[in-house]
Amino acid sequence: MAVNRNSKSIWGWAMYDWANSAFATTVMAGFFPLFFKQYWSMGTDINTSTALLGFGNSAASLLVALCAPILGALADRGRTRKRFLIWLAYSGSLATALLWAVPKGEWGWAIICYGVGTICFAGANIFYDALLVDVAPAPDRDRVSSLGYALGYLGGGLLFMLNVLMVQHPRWFGLTDAGQSVRYSFLSVALWWAGFTIFLIVWVHEENNSPGSVSGVHSLMNGFRQLGNTAMRLFRQKSVGLFLLAYWCYIDGVDTIIRMAVDYGLSIGFGSGDLMLALLLVQFVAFPAALVFGKLSSRWGTRNCIYLAIAGYAVATLWGAFMKERMDFYMLAVIIGLFQGGIQALSRSYYTGFIPDGQSAEYFGLFNMMGKFAAIIGPGFVGMVGLMTRKMLLPAASTPEQLQHVGQLASRLGIGSILIFFIVGAILLHLSGSKQP
């Protein structure tokens, strides 16, 4: 069957970003860190709750990283990418819905439901990314990839805006208080994710590039063998291997900021209302910015635009480590929004230039493995730096004010430590050279 590259296929593919970004926005970046700190881990100190959240994110990322390349190798052995995506999307929706039922103080169950949702979210994205080569020809992939991220920011932002209104004005929606509103927000994400995935199911078709596919144990063994061969081919090519290492570093910083920003804001004393407004700013700034990056790449080159986004994130990290006023947090949200969609979309489309025909899911399995192994390091690293700093400074603190200052300083150093990932990522991207194979 010929590759379906008509406009309906492109829009069906991009609408999955609209669907699943509700999880990234309302759950991952917004209400889960807030609710985890104030409801599920109530009674623990700020640095311990940050560490619990960071380690939970890291554990979920580890499982995704270990499974991603094998799933990708298996999915390329026949028309199974879409099937895997659908199964993971609906499993993730169910896990998100279950957050509604987790009672106060049960941080363990909260982490389990959140972890399963995160694993399914990230796993489905392997197959979503891989379908890009089926819906768009090579010259259009920067534009189509950017369209997906732009719709994701718009869709995720619209639902998140509704969820924020639910929390701020619960009686408008027939709810009793903010806590009940947050729980129903998790339920709304599950329905949004599951409902809008239907566009991809109906409109997107994938090409069968592996007519000799097999199943069962033989398929699993072939998947491992194919994965090993792909890894050896990739890392024998200096430019590909260095690009993957560069991506490993800088996307770590991006993912860590997404997952830990609200927790960090709470730790240094910002109110939850300020944090929710800042996240809304990110979404609605990122929507047009992602589209602009898609156009800029045709003029400046994809690599140069990635450099620009890395520099923007480095500035945002430094700003975040030293900010004190409410307006600083809003300015930080604008900076992140300008570069977040661009760095994600262009990294994805740039990588498609390395992929041979019929191996997109396998190659994106490795691509996502690098990103998720990085996401193991980042949140855990932030939590570790915060705990170590607190341990060193705590003996010198004797008053409540000094204890609060120690906690906030530890949090600032933790978030500031992310800068090293952007610096190393930029250096490795430069060393990778300027030409794709």
How sure is the predictor about 13, in pLDDT bands with cuts at 50, 70 and 90? very high
Q: Does the CA dihedral 227-228-229-231 come out positive or negative? A: positive
For the chain, the structural domain boundaries read: 7-205+216-431
Per CATH, the number for 7-205+216-431 is 1.20.1250.20
Q: How far apart are CA 192 and CA 20, in angstroms?
A: 8
Stronger pLDDT, 296 or 386, i.e. the higher one: 296
CB 79 within 8 A of CB 4: no
Stronger pLDDT, 243 or 401, i.e. the higher one: 243
> What is the average pLDDT across 252-266?
72
> What is the average pLDDT across 102-116?
82
Q: How far apart are CA 232 and CA 101, in angstroms?
A: 46
Query: Please, what is the average pLDDT of the chain?
Result: 78
Q: Which two tokens stand for residue 70?
A: 């094998």
Stronger pLDDT, 395 or 431, i.e. the higher one: 431
> What is the average pLDDT across 119-126?
86
The 3-state DSSP composition of the chain as helix, strand, coil percent (nearest 5) reads 85, 0, 15
CB 342 within 8 A of CB 305: yes
Closest CA to 86 of 200, 225, 223: 200
CB 264 within 8 A of CB 385: no
How does pLDDT run across 393-403, given as a tens digit for each residue? 766 666 777 76
Closest CA to 204 of 81, 294, 348: 81
Of 10-19, 285-294, 355-364, which gets the smallest average pLDDT? 355-364
